[in-house]
Amino acid sequence: MRFAYHATAAALAAAALAGGLGGDAPVRAQTGGLSQAGFEAYLPQLRARALAEGVSARTIEAVFPALEYSARTVALDRAQPGGAPGSNANPPFAPYRAQHVTSALVSGGARRYAANLPRLMEIGRRYGVAPPVLIAIWGHETGYGAVTGNFDLLNSLASLAYDGRRRDLFAGEFVAALKIIERGVPRYRLKGSWAGATGYPQFLPSVYLRLAVDADGDGRANIWTSEADALASIANYLSNAGWKPNVPWGVAVSVPAGFDRAAVRPRLLSPRCPRVHERLSRWLTVAEWRRLGIGSRSGMWPRDGEMASLLEPDGPGRTAYLLTTNYRTILDYNCSNFYALSVGLLADAVSR
């Protein structure tokens, strides 16, 4: 799994929640000369940044004395593979789909969809986002809240800032976590992945500050135990990222033999997650794709005027997908084609 830092750090959280390094020896081997003493020597820099960004001295004095260096967090971060240099090999989608669009996730999602339907419809009207997608992201991120991570966020973020390879990023998220405390969220609530993702939607602290909402009316944006707040916060995220109401994420399609793939290659390179976006074709209208012989496997289509791109995750001759701008919005949540595809497919299965 490569490092692709995004709004939820879901790709990183998955590695953390799936396990990681065991035992002290491997941790020491992968964290070099870092230590609790070095961590404590770095903390005044972090304290100064927090003060400069408006965190109160009272909060700082309550938090900093208890901070501890997390060698495990740093080891997990350093263990993230970057892929073989020069390799364009792509693993097949089917095994990933089998793990992330399971019968348990579908049935569990369908139950939660039915149980939350009135509120989901209200959230859908408010934010314009299809409710099944909200359920699918919740299920994909944390198994509907079953696995949210047990790393202490402040220790992990401070340790990653101390490590220094992405200091500004993680120091900023640490300060954001302090500001969450100042909003009234108790310190013990800030648990999650080693990479800093927290709650049912696995938001980074900065995203929580920007986009978490109170949907149940209790005056708090509680993404840790309130299903309503978590689902509305996911909807607010997707709406903010450009979700278009009443547009499907995409449809499974078949590609005719002899299709000229070179003619639809992307003409521009995406500055964000280029290896993800380079697998998508350039944009054409749905009507144009149909004229090129692309056929819907279900008979369902987005509107002819909608823009869409083509993705063949397992190569020619296998199921392909015609993807709308809303698919790109799911990529904004987690920049992985397999993630976005499985969210869309899980959403479709949940709503049947």
Tens of pLDDT, residue by residue over 127-145, are 999 999 999 999 999 999 9
Which of 1-5, 8-12, 36-40, 326-330 has the lowest average pLDDT? Answer: 1-5
Tens of pLDDT, residue by residue over 271-297, are 888 999 999 999 999 999 999 999 999
CA dihedral sign of residues 173, 179, 184, 186 = positive
Strand 295-296 and strand 250-254: pairing?
A: antiparallel
* Helix spans in the chain (H): 10-18, 24-31, 36-52, 57-63, 71-78, 93-100, 103-115, 117-127, 131-142, 153-163, 167-182, 205-211, 227-240, 274-277, 286-291, 325-333, 337-350
Query: Where are the CATH 1.10.8.350 domain residues in the chain?
Result: 10-81+148-210
CATH superfamily of 10-81+148-210: Bacterial muramidase (1.10.8.350)
Q: Which two tokens stand for residue 191?
A: 């648990």
Alpha-carbon distance values, 44 to 41, 69, 108, 175 (Å): 7, 14, 46, 13
Tens of pLDDT, residue by residue over 35-56, are 999 999 999 999 999 999 999 9
Rounded CA-CA distance 1/57 in Å is: 39
The predicted model scores a pTM of 0.89
